[in-house]
Amino acid sequence: MVIKLRKYATISVLREVKEILEKDKKEKDWSEYLLELYRYASIYKKRKAFEELRRLLSPEDLEAIKRTSKEFRERFRLR
């Protein structure tokens, strides 16, 4: 039988921050909770960047990007 030991680390944060996070995390363990926060933040940043691009680009620009992306995927071959 093989027992795999996990490594843990300590993260220093202000006591007030920890209290706020502890209330929000409820029964989740810290690893699960922090990974969830990271995933939400990552998705938020991607959506925000996408919306910014939509705001900056015209419908014609978006269509041209879509068309060239499709052409690239159709022609791309690994050697």
- Per residue in 55-71, pLDDT (tens digit) is 999 999 989 999 999 99
pTM score, two decimals? Answer: 0.65
- The tens digit of pLDDT for each residue in 34-43 reads 999 999 999 9
Domain positions in the chain: 27-75
Which pair of structure tokens corresponds to residue 36? 């969830």
User: 29 phi and psi, to 5 degrees?
Assistant: -80, 165
Q: pLDDT class for 4, splitting at 50, 70, 90?
A: confident
DSSP-derived letter for residue 33 is H
User: Could you tell me if residue 27 is left (phi over 0), alpha (psi between -120 and 50 degrees) or otherwise beta?
Assistant: alpha
pLDDT of residue 77: 79
DSSP-derived letter for residue 57 is S
DSSP tally for the chain: helices H, then strands E = 3, 0
